[in-house]
Structure 1
Amino acid sequence: MADNPLVTIIVPVYNAERYLPYCVESILGQSYHNLQIILVDDGSTDASADLCDAFAAKDTRIDVVHQSNGGIGKAQNTGLDRAEGQYIAFADNDDILDRRNIELLLHVLLQTNADMSKARWRQFGVSTLDTVQQQAAIGASEPSTITVFRNPLRAYQTVFCKSLRMIGTALGRKTEARYFNEANWCRLYRRELWDGLRFPEGAYAQDVMVAGELYSRMSSVADLDVVLYNWLQSGDSVTHSERSFGFYHDNVEAGAANFELALNHGVTPMRSYYTLVGSIAEERTAKDVQLDDHLRILDEDIARAEALIAKLTPFQRMQCASTRVLRLMDKYLYDRVVKNMK
């Protein structure tokens, strides 16, 4: 590679002593070496903090920050504030990166001049940790296809149903290449995309809350048709286990903000409709919904959603409602298969 820019990888760390070594070793073993690795210990109460320090003592590329617990948004912001690289990547503290993750993502960014590059990922269960680690250390093959697409905000809002992506790809439209969610891992960003943009702190759904603004800043995205990231499915993760009213309300807030932003950019907010309507339904059945403040907030959220949906044309409402049904079918299968990985 002719150019050798510095890439910053940000890893929020919280009580991950069992899985953190797998994650950090996969980053240290990257085929691309010019890295700044920021481990943000967010007030861990297990051995994670000591593990971070031990890794830093072995490799000068690692920068460890210890801070009081403030949630993943605060940890990610700390990493962004300390980032020195021209390009920025994120990783969760219990996931495993393919050995060629940064190499391939950076190469395609330099080659295409896109704002962000992304690749495919796979889910795995705890019982296959060692096997996945060994496979990731070998390194992926060259991507079979590189797809560059414009208007990422439109793709984010409209290409999210797995069933429709499969049909589109079968018809030769490269629909899967245009899919991406709110997760920040398995991507490489140009640093300037994050100028003046930070995650909300102390909130759930922090990645959803910045998604619309982040994607609206991008002109193009490059997709690599190769698996470069391994996502651990753990039943005790926040995404899989949290069921409080506050969790669902934060998703309502994020969905509503992205809904309005999409409309302002002339994009039908199909994904945000799904998030907004679904999160309100979950609020109604949350275990702590009967608290007085929560009932009041629920009423406010319902009124806000109704006002936003009223801005849609009849055709847009049909699009949003029909894709929501398809996405619920996808989710049913996902919950039965992927979330139950062992």
Structure 2
Amino acid sequence: MLRESMELVSVIIPIYNAEKYLPACINSVLAQSYQKIEVILVDDGSTDSSSTICDEYAKRDARVKVVHQTNGGIACAQNTGLDAAQGEYIAFADNDDILDSRNVELLMQALVRTGADMSKARWRQFGPSLMDQVKREAGLGANNPRSVTVFSNPLAAYQNIFCKSLRMLEDLAGRYGEARYLNEANWCRLYRARLWTNIRFPEGKYAQDTAVAGRLYSRMSRVADINVNLYNWLQRSDSVTHRQQKPGFYHDHVQAALDNMAICYKRGVTPARSYYTLIGNLRYERTTSEIYPDPEAKKRLAEDEYRAIKVLQDLSLTQHLYCRTLSDIRTLEKVIYDKLIKNMV
């Protein structure tokens, strides 16, 4: 059990119609070995029994706080959680995922001992049929990590270390590629609460995590990575990211990528990941604008294409070739990844 710090950790869980998996998620949070937590359940206008489930947990455990609100989307729910948080540290969890019982303990330990701004750990994906097995294993608690890697300039890491195959090659070369990998997800991390000052998720939009990633990583000097699995990510075929989307979905991702590229230019960072996000989602926005004809969608597409041309002109030839190469590698990896995810049951 960690003894270096017993500061309060606020765990924020946005909830919408999650009655099937919600109890397992909340149970995994309340079972944390690090007990000084407040669990903020933000019921975002659920129409199933999720609201009742939240209230029942609040009656049983004083650490649980419930906020009921009309449906405003996940960004709105996350912002409500941030506004309600009292902890010196912030963590997030999705309402259908399972936390290892030592998640907060080990993330806190890494954060305190290294003085980093954020700590993160590894995660695994699983299908619904493995839920019982995952719950048992998570309840046992992870072993102490084999290593803790601290790295600087997380914005550069986020932008340039995102291809799985290249991370594996870096690991073989002893350059800790996997440890330096950062994505847009905010779960399986522990943040110092001050990082979120004046940062909130854009409400009413998709890509809310991508939209704040650049600003968050720009505020961080160092990140600590724990080489152990502490989070279990449920893969469901009905999730937002696994469904065919309309043009607005891709438009929001294009806007987030463009905004992140602007941050990178100011910081002198080559925006390889945002280039990949921009090119891919712009292509999907064009395709879906033909499938779902809408004058407003056509107008947004024209504006996105114009802005993209202007932003891409700021890349040097070397940067453009570098970004294009990583984008092609990641596109191929995604084809394989999507097939694996679709086979999870």
TM-score range, shorter chain: over 0.9
What's the counterpart of residue 338 of structure 2? 335
Asked whether the 8 Å contact 1:289–1:295 carries over to 2, the reply is: no
- Structure 2 CA distance for aligned equivalents of residues 188 and 76 of structure 1: 15
Does residue 1:70 correspond to 2:37, yes or no?
no
* Partner Cα distance (1:277, 1:248) in 2: 11
Q: Show CA shifts across 1:46-91 (max 9, x none).
A: 0000000011111000000000000000000000001000000000
Q: Deviations over 1:123-148 (max 9, x none)?
A: 00001011100100000001111000
Q: Distance in 2 between matches of 1:266 and 1:62?
A: 43
What percentage of aligned pairs have identical amino acids?
Answer: 56
Aligned counterparts of 1:36 and 1:97: Cα–Cα separation in 2: 15
1:273 matches 2:278? no
CA distance in 1, matches of 2:244, 2:36: 37
TM-fit CA distance, 1:312 = 0.2
Shift of 1:2: 3.3
State the match for 1:248 in structure 2.
Answer: 250
Tell me the residue number matched to 1:131: 133
In structure 2, distance between residues paired with 1:142 and 1:242: 40
**In 1, Cα distance between equivalents of 2:236 and 2:162:** 23
Query: Is 2:96 aligned against 1:91?
Result: no
Distance 1:49 1:238 in 2: 21
The aligned counterpart of 1:301 is: 304
How does 1:208-247 map onto structure 2 within 5 Å? Answer: 208-247=210-249
1:323 aligns with 2:326: yes
* Whole-Å separation in 2 of the counterparts to 1:102 and 1:6: 11
Tell me the alpha carbon deviations over residues 125-180 of structure 1, each in whole angstroms, 9 at most, x when there is no partner: 00101110010000000111100000000000000000100111111111110001
Q: SS where residue 42 of structure 2 aligns?
A: strand
- Once structures 1 and 2 are overlaid, which stretch shifts more, 291-300 or 316-325? 291-300
User: Alignment RMSD, CA only?
Assistant: 0.8
Q: Which residue of 1 aligns with 2:206?
A: 204
SS of the aligned residue for 1:176 comes to coil
Question: Mind listing any 5+ residue stretches in structure 2 that lack a counterpart?
Answer: none
Alpha-carbon distance in structure 1 between the residues aligned to 2:123 and 2:343: 17
For each residue in 1:180-229, what CA deviation from the matched residue of structure 2 results, as whole angstroms up to 9, or x when unmatched? 10000000000000011100111111000000001000000000000000
192 and 242 in structure 1: CA distance in 2 versus 1, 3 angstrom threshold = farther
| Separation (CA, whole Å) in 1 of partners of 2:4 and 2:269 | 38
Q: Verify: 1:156 aligned to 2:146, yes or no.
A: no
CA distance in structure 2 between the partners assigned to 1:52 and 1:260 by the alignment: 40
Query: What secondary structure, in the 3-state scheme, does the structure 1 residue paired with 2:178 have?
Result: helix
**Whole-Å separation in 2 of the counterparts to 1:219 and 1:237:** 33
Aligned ranges for residues 5-154 of structure 1 at < 5 Å? 5-154=7-156
Q: Where does structure 1 differ by over 2 angstroms across 4 or more consecutive aligned residues?
A: none
- How many Å separate the matches in 2 of 1:111 and 1:239? 36
Give the C-alpha shift of residue 242 in structure 1. Answer: 4.5
Displacement of 1:3: 2.1
Q: TM-score, normalised by structure 2?
A: 0.98
Paired AA for residue 66 in structure 2:
V
Counterpart in 1 of 2:317? Answer: 314
Could you tell me whether the CA contact under 8 Å between 2:75 and 2:201 is conserved in 1?
yes
Amino acid at match of 2:65: D
| Post-superposition offset of 1:289 | 4.0
**Length, aligned pairs only:** 342
Q: Secondary structure at the match of 1:323?
A: helix
Give SS of 1:141's match.
coil
SS at match of 1:99: coil
Aligned partners of 2:196 and 2:217: how far apart in 1? 11
Measure the CA separation in 1 of the matches of 2:150 and 2:242: 32
